[in-house]
Chains A and B, each alone.
Chain A
């Protein structure tokens, strides 16, 4: 048995994460071609402006860091 994780070529895990969804909202919803990485709650400290856990954990596939208090929802200046 191979010790590595095998991800099939057509697996949804291979699609890149949706940057709009990572920001918080994607108007395409379930029709979006990119993968929507779901986070439960935003980190209240990051939301207020600063969270010391920013570098404590490696970022997820959508480059969003999640600490024990929630996800660090990165705000990108509006393009909508």
Chain B
């Protein structure tokens, strides 16, 4: 996969071809981190 060449950074590319829901590169990574935090917290709460 072309994750390391980051083709969505090229000028003239439509960000929405790569990112859905109005995400961009930065908000998408933030979202991923938050989802991982959430699943961690939820599993902790289930253990209690």
Contacts and interface: CB of A to CB of B under 8 A. Distances in A.
Contacts, number: 56
Interface residues of B, number: 22
A73 B18 contact: no
B23 A24 contact: yes
A27 B19 CA distance: 9
B16 A38 contact: yes
Interface in A19-41: 21-30, 36-41
Contact of B20 (A21, A27, A28, A78): A21
A27 B2 CA distance: 6
Interface of A: 21-30, 36-42, 49, 70-71, 73, 75, 77-78, 80
